[in-house]
Chains A and B, each alone.
Chain A
Amino acid sequence: MPESLRKLTWPLAALAVLLLFNALLNPEFFSLHFAEGRLTGSLVDVLDRATPVLLLSLGMTLVIATAGVDLSVGAVMAMAGSISAVLLTDVGMPVLPTLLITLLASLAAGAWNGLLVSMLGIQPIVATLILMVAGRGIAQLLTDGQIIPIEGHPGFAYLGGGTLFFLPVTITIALAAALFTAIAVRYTALGLFIESAGENPTASRYAGLNVRAVRLLVYTLSGLFAGVAGLIYASDITAADANNAGLYLELDAILAVVIGGTALSGGRFFLAGSIIGALIIQTLGTTILMTQIGGQSIPAEWNLIVKAIVVLVVCLLQSAALRQILTGKGVRG
């Protein structure tokens, strides 16, 4: 089995177990029906709700593959929502240029991270931490710390709540972003460059690879995807919530990448794994909300613990060292 498929086994198994759990305890989870021109049901909700983290994890996978990390994606989401709210409501700009400017700003935010990392050689965790703090600050400054309602813009509301191909349009957006990324990295040499830059930047440079350009590119892309995620978040609640949009989602995105089998040390990366990781996280979230034990919901205080246990199990499943110990074959090295 090729490595990319083998890597997917355990995340897929975890997702299957979660679905099986729902099949046993929450049969409603699988009920699908047609209403108001679209398919509705929890499965559709999971795909819809997973979109922001999925988008973030696409960019994050590439960043992590270069042995970096992007902590600013949640803050860039908040910025994107606030910028579009200000443009639509205060400036009175039409929807299309608003989206364009917002995405350009997100692109610039990502490029800023890329410049700090690639040109100035600042540690990725520090470089992106700056924007993580400042980005949310900018978002709050733009909106005065208030939730700005974005009403009367059907084009904007469509992004997070619209229907395309009988499904929430977010699913198409996520799919398109995933396809775009996959084609860019697997049907060109870009994927190889990223892995090479992450595996051994010095050797890559001597081999003639422009490592700086590769780094700049992945952070820029990460910023762009974060911007799209932020627009979807704001569109979903038809409001810009600078305080809560994307809060802690950078951690979920990193988690999705790690669950998907990409190592934080850089090098080989698995886009499909990250996508499954994002789906696992959202499936888990929705499962917690739907599960009733003895006619009672799971106490809210347990949410994070349940999440932690599931993540731990998935990570343990993926640990080659642990599997070797369990199968008694001894540990290498």
Chain B
Amino acid sequence: MIRILQITIVCIFSTAVLSVDTKNSFADNKDLTVGFSQIGAESGWRTAETKSIRSEAKKRGVNLKFSDAQQKQENQIKALGAFIAQNVDAIILAPVVETGWEPILKKAHRRGIPVILVDRGVKVTNDDLYTTLIASDFVAEGRMAGDWLAAKTGGKANIVELQGTPGAAPAIDRKKGFEQAIAKHPGMKITKSQTGEFTRAKGKEVMEAFLKSGGEIDAVYAHNDDMALGAIQAIEEAGKKPGVDILVVSIDGVKPAFESMVEGKLNCTVECNPLLGPAAFDAVEQAVAGKKLPKNTIVQDKLFDQSTAKDVIDSRQY
């Protein structure tokens, strides 16, 4: 409790200092109102993203209207509708799924409200319906994980895959990227693949079933860290050593994943940077100023393995 209080106080002070610093350069932001529709708070990653956007808004003096959709698209569409009715200057949207956004985005487009997508894309017939997408390249993330595993195993491995929620962009793309990477190695194949719904409990349950369904398992590829952490528990309970008997690779780079790497259980994770606040508000300001923006702003991701985990673990913010 005291620690939380301390952190809060530090945050308030640092924002205060920063806002003094930036007061002049962002003076006209005082009137900016931006609506942010977030998917939810299902993981440490997403909470870090929310914090980044919130603190950046505060820093720049933007009036931020925040809406948590609790994983439901209908709530996001409702929130967007409310933002449009309130005539906000811009909307930041982290879409829970790829499809079904056309009608509400058209409405925003007609009102001339720029929509900045963060961390996930949408499928629309007309790309003009959103201003820009600021996101990691999930396909590249999957590829990086696959390349690392290929190098580690010399291109020979029976892999089981723990997919994210069916239909979610990161699940689709991380699967695709990984498959591209291992396609170059005939000795590598995915023998089992099912959804662990991005959660620890499901990741554990699925891995438990995979371990009992016969066949060699050399490596696990999980679409996010939480599922990998669940799978690690299942491997341990089956009397095997995660990270040694069965290699574990995943994506996201949340702090518990780094802790697990330091313990030698998780082999590597590809960081998917959630600190999108600065980039998102840069885009908002440019869009409001009427400047043309590129359709895609790609956030660079980085791979960490056990050899690098120790050095960076203390600097992890999420």
- Which residues of A pack against B, CB within 8 Å? 26, 28-29, 31, 35-36, 40-42, 45, 49, 90, 136, 140, 144-147, 149, 161, 233, 236-239, 241, 243-245, 285-286, 288-290, 292, 295-298, 300-301, 303
**B159 CB to closest chain A CB, in angstroms?**
12
B43-A300 in contact (CB<8A): no
B237-A161 in contact (CB<8A): yes
Q: Within 8 Å CB of B237, what residues of A?
A: 161
A74 to B201, CA, bound (A): 14
Q: Within 8 Å CB of A292, what residues of B?
A: 192, 213
**B304 CB to closest chain A CB, in angstroms?**
20
Q: Within 8 Å CB of A233, what residues of B?
A: 201
Whose C-beta in chain A lies nearest to the C-beta of B259? A149
A144 to B51, CA, bound (A): 12
Q: Within 8 Å CB of A237, what residues of B?
A: 200-201, 204, 230, 233
Q: Which of A42, A243, A290, A303 contacts B195 (CB 8 A)?
A: A303
Q: Which of B166, B192, B199, B210 contacts A241 (CB 8 A)?
A: B199
Q: Within 8 Å CB of A244, what residues of B?
A: 42, 197, 199-202
Whose C-beta in chain B lies nearest to the C-beta of A243? B42
Considering the complex of A and B, which 10 residue pairs feature the smallest CB-CB distances, nearest first?
A145-B41, A300-B195, A289-B209, A243-B42, A290-B213, A244-B199, A237-B200, A28-B214, A301-B166, A300-B166
**B166 CB to closest chain A CB, in angstroms?**
5
Given contacts A146-B47, A147-B226, A236-B204, 8 further A-B contacts (CB under 8 A): A26-B213, A28-B213, A146-B41, A237-B201, A244-B42, A245-B201, A290-B212, A298-B194
Known: A90-B1, A236-B204. A144 touches B212 (CB 8 A): no
Known: A233-B201, A237-B201. A147 touches B192 (CB 8 A): no
A52 to B227, CA, bound (A): 20
A241 to B198, CA, bound (A): 12
Q: Within 8 Å CB of A303, what residues of B?
A: 166, 194-195
Whose C-beta in chain A lies nearest to the C-beta of B70? A136
The answer, yes or no, to whether B218 is at the interface (CB within 8 Å) is no
A290 to B167, CA, bound (A): 21
Whose C-beta in chain B lies nearest to the C-beta of A86? B1
B212-A41 in contact (CB<8A): yes
Whose C-beta in chain A lies nearest to the C-beta of B40? A243
A303 to B210, CA, bound (A): 16
Whose C-beta in chain B lies nearest to the C-beta of A290? B213
The answer, yes or no, to whether B173 is at the interface (CB within 8 Å) is no
Q: Within 8 Å CB of B210, what residues of A?
A: 289
Whose C-beta in chain A lies nearest to the C-beta of B236? A161
A42 to B85, CA, bound (A): 54
The answer, yes or no, to whether B193 is at the interface (CB within 8 Å) is yes
A288 to B209, CA, bound (A): 10
Contact with A along B233-262 (1 / 0, CB 8 A): 100011100000000000000001000000
Contact with A along B299-317 (1 / 0, CB 8 A): 0000000000000000000
Q: Within 8 Å CB of A288, what residues of B?
A: 194
Whose C-beta in chain A lies nearest to the C-beta of B44? A146
**B257 CB to closest chain A CB, in angstroms?**
12
A286 to B202, CA, bound (A): 11
A42 to B200, CA, bound (A): 19
28 CB contacts below 8 A, A to B, read: A28-B213, A29-B213, A35-B239, A40-B238, A41-B212, A42-B209, A144-B47, A145-B41, A146-B44, A146-B47, A147-B44, A149-B256, A237-B201, A237-B230, A237-B233, A241-B199, A241-B200, A243-B40, A243-B71, A244-B200, A245-B201, A289-B209, A290-B212, A296-B193, A297-B192, A297-B194, A300-B193, A303-B166
**A166 CB to closest chain B CB, in angstroms?**
15
The answer, yes or no, to whether B191 is at the interface (CB within 8 Å) is yes
For chain B residues 257-298, which have a beta carbon within 8 Å of chain A? none
B41-A301 in contact (CB<8A): no
Whose C-beta in chain A lies nearest to the C-beta of B202? A244
The answer, yes or no, to whether B163 is at the interface (CB within 8 Å) is yes
**B237 CB to closest chain A CB, in angstroms?**
7
A290 to B194, CA, bound (A): 9
Whose C-beta in chain B lies nearest to the C-beta of A31? B212
B200-A45 in contact (CB<8A): no
Known: A147-B44, A243-B40, A289-B194. A45 touches B201 (CB 8 A): no
The answer, yes or no, to whether B88 is at the interface (CB within 8 Å) is no
Q: Which of B195, B212, B230 contacts A45 (CB 8 A)?
A: B212
A134 to B279, CA, bound (A): 34
**B188 CB to closest chain A CB, in angstroms?**
15
A140 to B195, CA, bound (A): 24
Q: Within 8 Å CB of B71, what residues of A?
A: 243
B41-A243 in contact (CB<8A): yes
B233-A238 in contact (CB<8A): yes
Q: Within 8 Å CB of B42, what residues of A?
A: 243-244
